[in-house]
Amino acid sequence: MTQFVDLAVRTPVQAEPDGLGPAVVAAFDFDGTISTCDSLQCFLRSKLGRRRFGWGILRALPWLIACAARLTDRHTAKEQLLRATLGGTPAALAENWAAQFVDAELPRLLRPEMLVRLAWHQAQGHRTVLVSASPSLYLRLWAQKMGFQAALCTELEIVDGCYTGRLASRNCWGPEKVRRLDAWWQQDVPAKLYAYGDSRGDAEMLARADVAWYRGVEQSTRT
């Protein structure tokens, strides 16, 4: 089992106001980094029920297998899973599910040591940003609750008041994480970037960082 480093929170300092371009940004992946599991599967299983979720997995299985075999991309496989599970769900209902999930269930899936690390960055006045392939449907709510400046996540399409299961943005994985970060800070490039990840999907973001943490261990510092 991967052991994550538990870091003590230092004495808080006053954060720089938004818009003044803080010198340091800390970018966090979510699934497997802050959480202990795949949060999308937990969300779908919890809110759809095991039977409906299982049926959705079976319907999407050919694409999931093809993705694992690198015969199709993650964007396509995720769309097929979401169309088979969340497709046709009224937006108001799904957003109510998301609020319930964030308040009652998501806290049990979080790594306490990574919450300590997040609190340390925020205490130093660093800007914190969540960068995840999981949907903004529930992660944006959680990110706001935890004091992140932004949640750069996969966006889901809504048509006529219902989730279609299609993605409204590129799947925020791999190189897309770096593109989303660049678009977020635009010309206000941070003087120092910390990045936290746990998988291949975080490789480009970790490579871009001045200080990269992989599975709770500092990997490198760029100078």
How does pLDDT run across 34-85, given as a tens digit for each residue?
999 999 999 999 999 999 999 999 999 999 999 899 999 999 999 999 999 9
Question: Which CATH number does 24-221 carry?
Answer: 3.40.50.1000
Residue-level pLDDT at 217: 83
Dig out the tokens for 118 from the structure: 């997040």
Dig out the tokens for 30 from the structure: 């979510």
Task: Please choose, from the candidates 96, 183, 194, 198, the residue with its C-alpha nearest in 3D space to the C-alpha of residue 141.
Answer: 96
Following DSSP, what letter does each residue of 45-78 receive, concatenated?
HHHH-HHHHHHHHHHHHHHHHHHHTTSS-HHHHH
pLDDT tens profile 92-147: 999 999 999 999 999 999 999 999 999 999 999 999 999 999 999 999 999 999 99
Confidence of residue 220 (pLDDT cuts 50, 70, 90): low
Mean pLDDT taken over the chain: 89
Listed in sequence order, the residues at least 6 apart from 99 whose beta carbon sits closer than 8 Å to its beta carbon are: 141
Residue-level pLDDT at 174: 96
Q: What is the mean pLDDT of residues 150-176?
A: 97
Task: Please choose, from the candidates 17, 15, 23, 16, the residue with its C-alpha nearest in 3D space to the C-alpha of residue 188.
Answer: 23
Pick the more confident residue, 87 or 4.
87
Does the pTM surpass 0.75? The reply is yes
